[in-house]
Structure 1
């Protein structure tokens, strides 16, 4: 596998974008307009198996089971390094990594289109904003680039958040069409 992604420690801006490529079986890239920092793709049309690639490596997100909401975050394909658990009766999603890192993807306001990744230890880490009518660039990312957050894997966390939004959109579309 050829790694064409730029290291995130070389970033020059606090604002990134997600670009969508292809219409059928799309994949999404995290970019600043010139350089690509990561990629989110799916193995099947049902989005039960996501593949995230960055300069640091590749990860997969798989559902624990057909009727389970929780997802496993795996390094490469088989080494589980954490879980992603949507909360019941809330729009929040808890991210727990085996190295002790814990954060929550949450919507801070009731009618907002901005998903924020917040940690008790580091505060707000990033914000994913859905752009209305953004077909080619559906998301804008704002990153808090303070020095203590440089060692975090921001491209991975961003693409996990985008995956959560896309899953929620697919579930909403399925509920409307049912």
Structure 2
């Protein structure tokens, strides 16, 4: 965890996401100089995702083999949250054990930007998908004031990238 810089030291509002590797890609949240987090897939069929930041590590995996819900755990197995996709909707709801509830969805129909939204705080951060960009597939945009309000911001940023990647994989499998 000492290889990542804390979000408290962040000075820019846009962080590009770099893709490393071809066969087993992993993704790095960076500002070009410092690394703020890392997303890797492990296990058979890429069913388990490891999110690493300076604030902590989380494991995101399916609750059961055929279910749609995702469980967020710490590496020692303590469950910290639940991600639930809504039926007949593109909205995904996150419920953390500390009380944070946020919804991840596209605000506009043909938009490439997904947004984490909280009822009390409003827009938390955006994950924008870049078209035809294999090296920098995403840009995470956030308000720097949210870093003080939401300590789980690194988790939300990397989890948003993971959810967009899952949506892309489901769309590719359906076509």
Bin for the TM-score computed over the shorter chain:
over 0.9
Distance 1:71 1:61 in 2: 6
Alignment of 1:53-132 (within 5 A): 53-132=52-131
The one-character-per-residue Cα deviations of 1:119-150 (angstroms, maximum 9, x if unpaired) are 01111010000011110000011101226744
- SS of 2:131's partner is coil
Q: How far apart, CA to CA, are the structure 2 residues paired with 1:148 and 1:62? A: 26
Which deviates the most, 44-53 or 77-86? 44-53
Task: List gaps (5 residues or longer) in structure 2.
Answer: none
Structure 1's consecutive aligned runs of 4 or more residues displaced over 6 angstroms after TM superposition are: none
Gaps of 5+ in 1: none
- Residue 33 of structure 1 deviates from its aligned partner by 1.1
Using structure 2 for the length normalisation, give the TM-score: 0.95
Alignment length (residue pairs): 175
Q: Is the 8 A contact 2:147 2:153 kept in 1?
A: no
Structure 2 distance, partners of 1:37, 1:148, is: 13
Cα distance in 1 between the residues matched to 2:81 and 2:146: 24
